[in-house]
Every structure is written in structure tokens, then in C-alpha cells.
Structure 1
């Protein structure tokens, strides 16, 4: 396979993307390099939906390797990698949260996104490079995905915002904001800040969204050159695990739920997380009461219909 190389500038840092060098059996794989930090990301999807699956089986695995920093794990006879660190688990979860909303509703095929740092220079953090790599791999794969998106970190030192700060700059930063999305939408936020005011946080989001726009254009350029054609939705047969009745009921529930959510939750701002949670539970109970009478038949009592809906 011919190796394709792409280069761009991301907030003053050179980013190198290579396609076709590693993991040829994956649906799509890329290496992304920022400084001397390089990360490999692969994306694969099963050929068919798993029978009986009623959720989207996405697995995002961020795999740290001691070899990435030039170390060999363990004593002479124990060379295996140990359990993932807390940082590795949290990085995997951040990437999962960022990409999960962009897969088609109802997808039941298993999707795996594996991110592995190959080298870490101690200056450029591998988590942000991993976010970029994972989103590019998904975008150029045949897996249905509503991208492109990318990742960005915003720091603040002495009142000045820094895009994708180094590890040293982060030590003195009042802000460590991780964002995934594009110039118009945000799909993931993770933040550690030292009591910044609302206006400062809003400005950080604006800077993040604006800074991601050139990278989005870069990803589109890569996709145009090496991207695969996306699998049409109707070929995936992702509703095979549902009966016709299940599909019909889900459509009824969606239609009714949207009206109630718009009326009771989205019409006016709700103050706290607890208040929003309470409203959602009330809407759930109201929706079940409304739907269980419609689902009651000769062979299904109202109580059985309620159990079916709650499942």
C-alpha cells in the first residue's frame, strides 16, 4: 500500500498525518505526529449486527505503551504491559464521549477504535494527538460517521489563552479545557480550571471552536484523497435485532418524547443538573402512562406494557 503523507500547521505546531504505513487490515488507520509525539489510531466495524443487541456496541481503547517513552516494562522475565493507568482510561472515555453522538441512530454493528501512542516526547501531550488521530481514522473509514470533528486543548497562563499548550505550560496553566467538535458544534467537554469566571470560560470555548476550523478543513482534504466510501445505512440492516413491532413502537415513542421534551425541558433554561434530571424522570413516567394504554392488547395487559416500555 502506498503511504500518503499530509502536513498542516495547527496553532503554530506542525502536524503530520500518514495513511497506509501501519495496520493495513483495519478499515482505516492513520498515524498522527505533533513534535516527536506520534499516535496510531485504527477504526474497524463488524460485518453484521450482533443478534439481540439493543445498544450501540462501541469500544474505544486508549492503549499506553512503556516503549513510547523508551522504557521496557518489568523485570527480566515479566515484559507484559500492566493495567491501564487512570489517565489512559480517562483519555479513552473522553474520545468515546466525543465520537459516540456522531454514529447513526440505531447502529448495532460492533465498532472498535484503538488509539496507541507510539512515541511521546514529554512536550506534546498524546491525548490531544490521539483525539485527532481517532477522528481522522473514522472520517476516512467506510464506517457511517457524521464528521469531521477534531480535538483541541485550551490553556491559560498569566491571563493569556494558549491553544494546545505543552506539558510544561500546563503546569502553570489556570485552565485545562479539552474540547471535541468543529467550528459550529461541540460533542465533548472536559475541564479543569482554577475558579475562572463565566466570561473567561465562554471565551475559551470560542477560541477552541475557531482554532479547530483549519484542522477540519485539513481532515476534509485527507478524506478527499484517501477516504473510503461510507457504507449506505440500508445495507447495514442494523434493525435486524428488532421486530417490526419494536420499530413501530420506537417511532411512536420518539414522536411523543420530542414534543414533551421541547415543551417541558428545552422551552426554558433549567437551573441545575438535579432539576433537569427530575424533569426527565417525570417526562419518562408521563410518557409510559401515555404509551402503555396504546400498547395494551388482548395478550398484553397495561402492567405488561409498562414493563415492556421500561425495558
Structure 2
């Protein structure tokens, strides 16, 4: 039986359909918004997974290029590793739904969102977030709090729900809000220095719009949802909990109240070893439960410390930032470096400037095909003092890199003002909380050090939250460190300039954030950001006026767009020769802009001179020094400019009669010729005879 329900969101129809496809999945739906369609399949294992202390949820966001009528590039011609955008979308779907499953639920759950049709006016990522919640809510899986998701734009001071492609171009803000009926579950935002109060109002607006989607899901469930199973929830044996608490609570409390992170970690490791010795035999097969009790005790102690004792683990005030230091120009051969240290968190960012031809090519479902500014983030195991194999970037590294990229993107100069491709790489050297926001600060230092004329410096900070069980008491923390993130309820990252916000990312472990928490976090983040920006300005107040000696120099020339094909030449022959002869890099645009890049000014000037000669118009009556390239019985072909040839007819080779062309010139000879005609087909006729006559007439008379 096919079940269908429709609603109207932002003037466009949204439809959910179940029962047509995926008969063996717990729930499979098509969800449409305009012509964008997401196929979602959700399934859960019948039994909990044994021996684990976490909820094994996996969310996959699968892009199919047929959704936009594309065939994948490359040799294999099929989709491979998920794109960066797909990985980010999978993370975004995961974050708001994960806290809404029952505590102690250990069954494997998989959510697969497959994008099967896209129209650019209706973003597939926003639809997928709603579709994932809808499928879980309709299924028998114990997910009972539906989540609505909307995108909010800001155009001419007005908020717009789910802006179309054209509206997104006009919008100064891109905000995603996910919410249940009661609270906000997730916030993602990027903006052109949005004032704090405007952002707060936009989040409220988004929350209210989410209620329509929650109601839509509730209506669908009432009509054709499955009966929910009663889950088998993991609970630690009461005897184990009592034994471990009696043995370890006082020791753990003393350790957790130790201010120094290093000393605290050593004490906790010693206590865990004592616990293993004490209970290793008694609870040999239940040590995972013992470990869970230890974690819960640590969490309980930290929360009591913050909520009741009003004290942070390192002794700071709730709105106090750890000591900060900023440095630049660390690495002599790079184009720009910044080292940002905040407490035990330290990030070094390196900036590299490249040719416009080095942009990143994007092969995805979006409208953008290239990316000129890139930010990459690396988090090696040594940053937390661990020994692990080095791997490629995971979902977390990709997510943090994208967050820092979004924070700085509105500040990057346009291609017209700064014709470089820019790559930033943030290396996390030490981690104790909020390395993503430290990478925003380190990247600002690196950009300024590289001489990139950004609009204004940016900085970022992470806010935290501690609540009690019923969410009636809460404390917002500025600049959270690792222990507060690990045992806390929220990671609220805000980046921006002295003028406003450029990015927000909010994760929560509880069933949503209050309006008070959101407002306090944004307002306190601004105070912290301004403090950090003062430290950055003390180190480097503005972009360096000179690029690094090792950075390539740009030389830009604007030519007639019709001349671009002459610069490139047949099969790229002309431009390849210029590059081979001079060693420069050359980028050409269809609008007539030619960019030459080289570390050597002489090489750049040589290439520039050649290009100017190519685009220079041949003029009738002008005399040129040309090179003979080919000989025929009727005359000689002479190159008078790179890529431009003309014919000297045998009758025009000399002032006297010429019987044979080879008697006067050979291939490779350089001769003076005069342009006598350019015919209707653009062919150039030359005369050596006229050039000789003109030279003789212009000779100075001898006394």
C-alpha cells in the first residue's frame, strides 16, 4: 500500500511517500521538495551490540550524479569516495538526531539518504535532514522526537525560509536550524559579518518555521507510522555500580578537582589501574560496565563542580579565556605562517598562494564547479599525546576544515583584487579543546603574514554548557577545554570579526538548547572574540605590504577577448611555447584577462612582452622585423609576431627582379618587411621591397 502526505513549505510542495520502494527496510521513503527527491532507508539490528559503551548509529549521505544529469568524471565513470560536501551533509544529519535516541540503546542503526533528483532551488541537504527524521519517526525504531530543519537567508534585512538558488546568491547569511517541538537541536551558519542580535532573531525565526515540519511528521506518523518497538536498553548492574562507586568515588573526586590537566590525567590513569586490579577478577566479563561506571562518576563529579561549586576544572571563571599567544613568520620558505596558542591548544596554519589555474575542481551536485580558497585541517595523534597510525583525513578533520573555511570565506578578497588561489593548512600541534576555532585564529595570522588583503581579522571561540538531568539548571562556559567538552552538553562554536559573525556550528548531547543558552553563548562569544582579536592585532595589525620572496608574483594584462585564442594557439601550441621558454605559469579567462605568475620578474616580463606582441594588432604601413618560417615557389612566409604570419610574394622580395625565392632568403632568416595589405579574410600581405625603399628614404644624408 502506497501512503502519501503533502504539505506546503515556503510556497513549495513537500511530499512524503512510503510503501512504494524498499520493502525489506524497516522504513523506506521518497521525500520530495519541488523536483528534489531523497530516498531514505532506515534499519536497526534486532539485538543490541554486545561489549560496547556507545550508541552505534551510522548516517550515510549518498550523492548520485544522475540526480543532476551528470556522468562522473575520470576513468571509472561511477561514484567513488563521498565528496567533501557529502561527508559534511552526513555529519549534519547525524548531529541533531543522535541525542534523541533512548539512553542505553545499543542496537546498530543505519540511516542511508540517497540523493536521486536535484533542482537547485531546493537544497538536497536540507530535505535529507527532514527526510531522515521522517523515516526514523515512521519506522519501528525507538525514535520518538521528530526534528524539523529549515534554511534561513537574509535579503535586504528580511529573513527568507529555504531560499531558492537566486535568493541564496542575494543572501548575506546561510543559516540551518534543526529543532524539535521544544528546543533547538543544531545550528549551522555562515554569514557576511552578521550582527549578534540579527543572528539570534534568525535562529528564533528558524525555530518557529521548524514547527511546521515537526507537525508534518507527526501527521504522517498518525496516518501510516509503524508501531514502535520497546527497546532493550543497556543498564549497568546495580551491584557493579555500587561497588565501583564505593571504591573509587573519593579518589576520582580528588583527581577531577586537580587543576593541572597533566597531573589530573596521571591521577585518573592510576585510579583506573587500581580499579582494574580491584575488580578484574570479580567482574572479569563485565569490565566494559566497570568502565562505564567510571565514566559516569567522572561526569557526575565535573557537573557537580560546575553547577554546585561554581568552579571550573582549571580554576578559571566561567567567562575567562585561557592565556593566548600569537606568532607569525615561523617557516622561512612558506608564503605565510601563523602559530596560535590558547592554553594547551595550539594550531599552526600555513598559507600558500598559487596560480588561478590551481583552483580545486568540484565534481558534485552543487552549482559551483571550482573553489579558489581552500582550508584543510590535520589532527595527528601526537596532538593529544597518543600513538596511532597516520591516516588520511577522516570525517572530523574534513568537518573542522570546512568550518574554519566558512569562517574566513567572507573575508577573502575577490579574484579581481587578489588574483591568487589560496590554500590554508592548519596543523593541530596540541589539543585541549576547540582546535577548529584555534585554526580560525591561526589562519587569520597566516593570511596576514602572507600579505593577503582580507577585509578584517577573524577569530573563533567555543562555548560549552553544563545542565542537570531535567535541564532546569544550566551554566554556559567560555572557551571550553577538553574535559568540559567531553563531560559537557554542548559545543557551541562561533567565529567572526569585530563587526559580526561569519560562522556558527553547534553540537549538543542533550535534547536541545534553550533560548537563554543560545543568546548567552552568542553574546559571551562576542566578548571573547574581541579579546582574541586584540591579541592578533598586537602580533600583526594588518596584512604585510610585501609578499614573501618565495611567493609567486602576479602580472595581469587585459586583452581583447577575441585574442585569447591567439595566445593559446592551435592545440595550445603558442601558450605552451611561452611557458617552456620563460618558465612562468599563465592563466587565461574568456573575459580577456591574462594572469602571468612567476617568482622571477625577468621571466614574467619576457612572457608579458611576448603576449603583448601576440595581441598587438598588425597595422598596414608598419615595418616589422620578422622571421622566415616557410618558402614556396611563389614567395616566403614570414612570422612578424608570435603566431602571426604574412606572405611576401616573390615579386616583393627585392627591389630587383627575383628568379628564385631561395636566392634572397632562407628559412630562419630575419628580415624587415612592410605590411601592405590585410585582406577581407585577415590574411597579411608583406613586402620586403617596400621596407628596403622606406629604409633608404629615411637614411640621414651624409655630409
Instruction: Tell me how far apart the structure 2 counterparts of residues 152 and 282 of structure 1 sit (CA, whole Å).
Output: 27
Match of 1:46 in 2: 45
> Which one scores higher on RCO, CA 8 angstroms, separation ≥ 6?
1
1:67 shift after superposition? 1.0
Say if 1:32 and 1:118 are closer, same or farther in 2 by CA, change over 3 A.
same
Say if 1:245 and 1:91 are closer, same or farther in 2 by CA, change over 3 A.
closer
1:123 shift after superposition? 1.6
Is the radius of gyration larger for structure 1 or structure 2? 2
Instruction: Tell me how far apart the structure 1 counterparts of residues 66 and 216 of structure 2 sit (CA, whole Å).
Output: 30
Instruction: Tell me how far apart the structure 1 counterparts of residues 59 and 482 of structure 2 sit (CA, whole Å).
Output: 31
Instruction: Tell me how far apart the structure 2 counterparts of residues 130 and 97 of structure 1 sit (CA, whole Å).
Output: 13
Listed one character per residue, the Cα deviations across residues 27-58 of structure 1 (whole Å, up to 9, x for unaligned) are 11211111111111111111122222122211
Q: What secondary structure is seen at the aligned counterpart in 2 of 1:129?
A: helix
Instruction: Tell me how far apart the structure 1 counterparts of residues 486 and 290 of structure 2 sit (CA, whole Å).
Output: 23
1:249 shift after superposition? 5.2
Instruction: Tell me how far apart the structure 1 counterparts of residues 9 and 170 of structure 2 sit (CA, whole Å).
Output: 22
Could you tell me which of 463, 469, 480 is aligned with 1:277? 480
Listed one character per residue, the Cα deviations across residues 195-235 of structure 1 (whole Å, up to 9, x for unaligned) are 111111011011111111122111101111121222223x3
Could you tell me which of 259, 269, 277 is aligned with 2:304? 259
Instruction: Tell me how far apart the structure 2 counterparts of residues 45 and 134 of structure 1 sit (CA, whole Å).
Output: 14
Q: Report 1:49-198 matches (<5 A).
A: 49-74=48-73, 78-198=76-196
CA contact (8 A) 1:128 1:152 kept: yes
Q: Report 1:194-233 matches (<5 A).
A: 194-233=192-231
Q: What secondary structure is seen at the aligned counterpart in 2 of 1:194?
A: strand
CA contact (8 A) 1:6 1:18 kept: yes
Q: What secondary structure is seen at the aligned counterpart in 2 of 1:40?
A: strand
Say if 1:239 and 1:134 are closer, same or farther in 2 by CA, change over 3 A.
farther
Match of 2:598 in 1: none
Instruction: Tell me how far apart the structure 1 counterparts of residues 311 and 223 of structure 2 sit (CA, whole Å).
Output: 43
1:262 shift after superposition? 1.9
Q: What secondary structure is seen at the aligned counterpart in 2 of 1:188?
A: strand
Q: What secondary structure is seen at the aligned counterpart in 1 of 2:226?
A: coil
Say if 1:232 and 1:253 are closer, same or farther in 2 by CA, change over 3 A.
farther
Instruction: Tell me how far apart the structure 1 counterparts of residues 9 and 221 of structure 2 sit (CA, whole Å).
Output: 18
Task: Point out the structure with the larger helix share.
Answer: 1
Say if 1:106 and 1:6 are closer, same or farther in 2 by CA, change over 3 A.
same
In structure 2, stretches of 5+ residues that fail to align are 238-284, 321-460, 464-477, 488-703
Say if 1:83 and 1:248 are closer, same or farther in 2 by CA, change over 3 A.
closer
Instruction: Tell me how far apart the structure 2 counterparts of residues 222 and 269 of structure 1 sit (CA, whole Å).
Output: 44
1:281 shift after superposition? 5.2
Say if 1:79 and 1:197 are closer, same or farther in 2 by CA, change over 3 A.
same
CA contact (8 A) 2:27 2:139 kept: yes
CA contact (8 A) 1:113 1:134 kept: yes
Say if 1:96 and 1:265 are closer, same or farther in 2 by CA, change over 3 A.
farther
Instruction: Tell me how far apart the structure 2 counterparts of residues 109 and 201 of structure 1 sit (CA, whole Å).
Output: 38
In structure 1, stretches of 5+ residues that fail to align are 285-311
CA contact (8 A) 2:95 2:186 kept: yes
Match of 2:266 in 1: none
> What's the TM-score, normalizing by structure 1?
0.81
Instruction: Tell me how far apart the structure 1 counterparts of residues 154 and 486 of structure 2 sit (CA, whole Å).
Output: 41
Say if 1:46 and 1:279 are closer, same or farther in 2 by CA, change over 3 A.
closer
Say if 1:80 and 1:278 are closer, same or farther in 2 by CA, change over 3 A.
closer
Say if 1:151 and 1:242 are closer, same or farther in 2 by CA, change over 3 A.
farther
Instruction: Tell me how far apart the structure 1 counterparts of residues 206 and 311 of structure 2 sit (CA, whole Å).
Output: 28
> What's the TM-score, normalizing by structure 2?
0.37
CA contact (8 A) 2:53 2:292 kept: no
Q: What secondary structure is seen at the aligned counterpart in 1 of 2:480?
A: helix
